[in-house]
Structure 1
Amino acid sequence: MEAVSALTSVPDDRSSAPARPRAQSVLVVDDEVRSLEALTRTLEEEFTVFTASTAEEALEVLRREFVTIILCDQRMPGMPGVAFLKKVRAEWPDPIRIVISGYTDAEDIIAGVNEAGIWQYLLKPWHPEQLLLTLRSAVEVYRLQREHQRLSLELRDAPVVLKQQVEAKRAQARQRFAADAIVRAPDSPLERVCELVERIAPHDLSVLITGESGTGKELVARALHYGSGRGARPFVIENCGALPDELLESELFGHKRGAFTGAYEDRLGLFQEADGGTIFLDEIGDTSAAFQVKLLRALQEGEIRPVGSSRTLSVDVRVVAATNRDLDEDVRTGRFREDLYYRIATVTLPLPPLRDRPMDIEPLARSILERSRAQLRLPVEGFTPEAMACLKRYRWPGNGRELQNEVQRMLALADGPWLGAELLSPRVLHAAAEGQERDLSLLAGLDGTLKERIEQLEARILRETLLRHRWNKTRAAQELGLSRVGLRSKLARYQLERS
């Protein structure tokens, strides 16, 4: 870092400053012994001081010692100060160079700045405190100079490092959002869906994903994107049912400044942001007939026109759409355009609801628990068998999203290492109990004589009732028509305890 010269006359006013550790080194070059001693006494409390009476001695010091600042007299026998500092600049450019002299020859100052790159030109007589302040500033300049050099080296290597980091992130995304990473049981109906995703992902085909809300349509769309050759390009999401036509058109196609009230600047649309990648149009069945015409043209021609613009722009995107509606029925009734339907539904992937794949509830619940407890940093180990049985008996109208909310609710209420059935919400407990009462298969698990089977069934009823009332024995006894003493007697008889 080349320094700017300053002609500084040192005032006589005194100021106090706290002592600092001797972390930096100063080379003092002066042919006058008394001046050399005075400078050494002033600086040695804060700096490691090396001294030399000639330029040749100073060069020897520089060859064997690490020096941060050079404080040099101008007029010396043999080699003058500016000539010495010019030589230093050529061989050791890092130290901060300062000239201290009793002469103010303009030519010396100009030569010092232009040829030797001096940072300050101090005048004798100097004041100790002012001299220390100057050298402290020189230390900061030296630190900034080294930091600048370090950052310059890092920035020079940044493209390679950044490329490696981006590739690592891409590989992590591919692994996280691959079809194999979708949580399911080995005998799940989703297994067939994931096989289709892996087969069609490499092909640049439009895909329509159908299914109820919360069944994982976005996960499948991401698996299609990261399993394709577009995986290194953007994946952009837009919920088409959340915006009116005007705003949706602006979001997808962009707009020009002044196109409508509030359009204060040009804006890129999501089709442009997704250029080369994939755009996921969720809830496409909720769009109006007027907007469907504009969307059809964009998909057919591969061109969009921003709102308020007279020019069309070419875009290269893969479209993955999703809906929870029956688009076949909407096409028959005329609510959804048939030509747009066939444009977006080259391949259709129907996702079954969670109630049709009960085998997925346990692995999905455990996966949600694993992620949630890591985020919340809770020492929870898992679900009790009763809690898991209740989760499996519930029909989950909200699918995976409802299951996620239920597990997170249980985590928030947990006060131990296991999530028990008493932490479940009332709707899950009641629905699980009703499902158990309707399920005649529970009788198949009863063994023994009629009396023994009735006792086993009674024990199950007692436990289910206590679970629904979160082990409130008073309420359970009232529902069952028992006294508290009678309920306690039955609990002791069947050895039922709160797990």
Structure 2
Amino acid sequence: MLTRTRPTVLCIDDEVRSLETLERTLDDEFEVMIASSAEQAIKLLKQHSVHAVLCDQRMPGKTGVELLSEIRHQWPNTVRLILSGYTDSEDIIRGLNEAGIYQYITKPWHPENLLQILRNACQLNALQEESELLAMEMRLTREQAEQNIAAKKARLQQNFALDEIKRGASSPLNEACEAVQKIAPYDVSVLVTGPSGAGKELFARALHYNSLRAERPFIVENCGAMPDELLASELFGHKKGSFTGAINDHIGLFEQADGGTIFLDEIGEITPAFQIKLLRVLQEREIRRLGEEQRRKIDVRIVASTNRDLEEEVRAGRFRQDLYYRLAEMTLELPALAKRPEDIPVLANSFLQRAMKEFDKPVDGFTQEALACMQAYAWPGNVRELQNEVRRMLVLAQDIYLGADLLSPRVLRAVPEDEAQETELWVGLEGSLKDRVETLEKRILKETMIRHRWNKSRAAKELGLSRVGLRSKLERYGFESRTGEVNSEENTSCV
């Protein structure tokens, strides 16, 4: 069981009887030390932790005020009290000003009154020490917070460095990365275009973290399918009571992003009415919260994105030309994932590494066959769809490699580019019925064999064929030799 230590009180008086009386009175509640001179008192203070000092005013050598002034300088947290039989107002004022005394106690003193005064003095000392500890804790916490923020910023800058954007050696994204490197240092608005899921936000962040604004906030707002009033409230802020539901003042995202970058995703979805409001903000570089008259200056870099053809929208009168040119000082076009098949293995393996950490489920990678099927698929959902597919494969996996049999049917049935050309040739209007049927049969055979991991018995059963009949068709379409290759790859090959 922990025992609480008693506070320590140092009593200083040149009269021995006075010290004995003080010691008897205080001994039940305090650890009492006594000193008959200033020199002896200083020596004790150097050797022990003292919570309160009770000192007589009239002593040979140094007065009580002079001694307590010295104690105040060396041990400022020790609470200082004067004990005197004289009530000279000059002594009291000097004690308050020079020694910073807590209490001036006159003789004769009442025991219970003295005990209560010293209890309060020691409690004050404890509070002072706690305050210092809290202040130190706050300093450490602030330093820790600053270190954590700096480390997080460093990680963000590293994660969104251009060489960290996952792509193949000769990827079409190389051109976009080179453009980011050139554009990022200059404070110009950038319009990022490309299909949904192509990585527009990734490049917006790369623009920010490679710019001079990298230390300031990066704020994201999706402008799609949001009513004008709500979007205005989110971007510009509002005053309490400015509309139904505005129960508090709200700082808008433009103000939150001050000094940094604001990313306006799906900018092509905003209404013509809101386009006028946004244009004014970009022109004047100031915002006005809903319900306020005051205008506030802002310093933000605008990066916007869209999957629409904004030039066509301008020609059709659905998007303001002046706003378009404000947003598109520089443009960055991202190709669809189908246009960069060599990026697919790199991205798939990157997503797999993340998913393995998240699900705590390690595997050794993909089979070559799985990657080939992925590269043959068009990925209408782009990078986002690929990421979801990789996560799905890992969840379903029961082997050390992720094989093609784990792919979704829509991916598995994809036609490679060379076969797509063949399909167009033989299944087109000029092809005979026999040619069309054979091409379709070939595709069905391939999809079924992959899904059953090239197990002929299961595939034959599903297709209603005998094993001999299935083998004959596989040989006819050139799949028999590829079967052996795939089986060996499933056992040994991964990327």
Please give the secondary structure, in 1, of the residue aligned with 2:305. strand
Give the structure 1 partner of residue 451 of structure 2: 465
Please give the secondary structure, in 2, of the residue aligned with 1:336. coil
Q: Which amino acid aligns with 1:366?
A: N
d(CA) in 2 for partners of 1:273, 1:18: 50
For residue 284 of structure 1, report the CA deviation from its aligned partner: 1.4
d(CA) in 2 for partners of 1:27, 1:88: 12
Q: Which amino acid aligns with 1:65?
A: Q
Compared CA separation, residues 128 and 481, structure 1 to 2 (3 A): farther
Q: 1:347 aligns with which of 330, 341, 352?
A: 330
Q: 2:408 aligns with which of 429, 435, 439?
A: 429
d(CA) in 1 for partners of 2:487, 2:151: 53
Give the structure 1 partner of residue 402 of structure 2: 420
For residue 292 of structure 1, report the CA deviation from its aligned partner: 2.3
Give the structure 1 partner of residue 129 of structure 2: 143
Give the structure 1 partner of residue 169 of structure 2: 186
For residue 322 of structure 1, report the CA deviation from its aligned partner: 1.1
For residue 327 of structure 1, report the CA deviation from its aligned partner: 2.5
Alignment of 1:71-82 (within 5 A): 71-72=53-54, 74=56, 78=60
Please give the secondary structure, in 2, of the residue aligned with 1:209. strand
Deviations 1:102-159 (A, max 9, x none): x79797888766654444678554699989966863562352253267479x49x979
RMSD of aligned residue pairs (Cα, Å): 4.9
d(CA) in 2 for partners of 1:111, 1:413: 84
Please give the secondary structure, in 2, of the residue aligned with 1:20. coil
Give the structure 1 partner of residue 473 of structure 2: none
For residue 399 of structure 1, report the CA deviation from its aligned partner: 1.5
For residue 194 of structure 1, report the CA deviation from its aligned partner: 0.9
TM-score (norm 2): 0.70
Q: 1:53 aligns with which of 7, 17, 36?
A: 36
For residue 361 of structure 1, report the CA deviation from its aligned partner: 1.8
For residue 217 of structure 1, report the CA deviation from its aligned partner: 0.5
Would you say the 8 A contact 2:171–2:340 is kept in 1? yes
d(CA) in 1 for partners of 2:9, 2:150: 47
Would you say the 8 A contact 2:236–2:287 is kept in 1? yes
Compared CA separation, residues 419 and 137, structure 1 to 2 (3 A): farther
For residue 305 of structure 1, report the CA deviation from its aligned partner: 4.7
Deviations 1:150-202 (A, max 9, x none): 479x49x979x988876665554433323332211111111111111212223
Give the structure 1 partner of residue 3 of structure 2: 19
d(CA) in 1 for partners of 2:293, 2:69: 64
Aligned pair 1:176/2:155, yes or no?
Answer: no
Q: Which runs of 5+ in 2 are unaligned?
A: 421-442, 471-482
Give the structure 2 partner of residue 13 of structure 1: none
Aligned pair 1:284/2:255, yes or no?
Answer: no
Alignment of 1:310-349 (within 5 A): 314-349=297-332
d(CA) in 1 for partners of 2:162, 2:220: 18
Please give the secondary structure, in 2, of the residue aligned with 1:334. coil
Please give the secondary structure, in 1, of the residue aligned with 2:452. helix
Would you say the 8 A contact 2:219–2:261 is kept in 1? yes
Q: Which amino acid aligns with 1:344?
A: L
Aligned pair 1:238/2:212, yes or no?
Answer: no
Amino-acid identity (%) = 46
d(CA) in 2 for partners of 1:310, 1:20: 61
d(CA) in 2 for partners of 1:131, 1:404: 71
For residue 243 of structure 1, report the CA deviation from its aligned partner: 0.9
Deviations 1:53-97 (A, max 9, x none): 3333212333x4243324435477536656543442244323233
Q: 1:198 aligns with which of 149, 174, 181?
A: 181
Give the structure 2 partner of residue 248 of structure 1: 231
Alignment of 1:26-425 (within 5 A): 27-29=10-12, 31-32=16-17, 34-35=20-21, 38=24, 42=28, 50-62=33-45, 64-72=46-54, 74=56, 78=60, 84-97=67-80, 116-119=99-102, 125=111, 137=123, 140-147=126-133, 150=136, 154=139, 170-256=153-239, 258-264=241-247, 267-309=250-292, 314-374=297-357, 376=358, 378=360, 380-385=362-367, 387-412=370-395, 418=400, 420-421=402-403, 424=406
Q: Which amino acid aligns with 1:466?
A: H
Deviates more, 1:162-171 or 1:312-321: 162-171
d(CA) in 1 for partners of 2:148, 2:372: 44
Would you say the 8 A contact 1:208–1:322 is kept in 2? yes
Compared CA separation, residues 95 and 193, structure 1 to 2 (3 A): same
Would you say the 8 A contact 1:303–1:314 is kept in 2? yes
Compared CA separation, residues 408 and 120, structure 1 to 2 (3 A): farther
Q: Which amino acid aligns with 2:123?
A: S
Q: Which amino acid aligns with 1:61?
A: L
Give the structure 2 partner of residue 490 of structure 1: none
Compared CA separation, residues 373 and 53, structure 1 to 2 (3 A): farther
For residue 401 of structure 1, report the CA deviation from its aligned partner: 1.6
Q: Which amino acid aligns with 2:412?
A: A
Compared CA separation, residues 127 and 476, structure 1 to 2 (3 A): farther
Q: Which amino acid aligns with 1:340?
A: L
Q: Which amino acid aligns with 1:465?
A: R
For residue 236 of structure 1, report the CA deviation from its aligned partner: 2.7
Compared CA separation, residues 193 and 462, structure 1 to 2 (3 A): same
Would you say the 8 A contact 2:373–2:404 is kept in 1? no
Instruction: Say how many residue pairs are matched.
Output: 445
Please give the secondary structure, in 2, of the residue aligned with 1:214. coil
Please give the secondary structure, in 2, of the residue aligned with 1:358. coil
Deviations 1:448-476 (A, max 9, x none): xxxxxxxxx9x9888623359xx9x9976
Please give the secondary structure, in 2, of the residue aligned with 1:404. helix
Please give the secondary structure, in 2, of the residue aligned with 1:435. coil
For residue 319 of structure 1, report the CA deviation from its aligned partner: 2.5
Q: Which amino acid aligns with 1:401?
A: R
Compared CA separation, residues 413 and 261, structure 1 to 2 (3 A): same
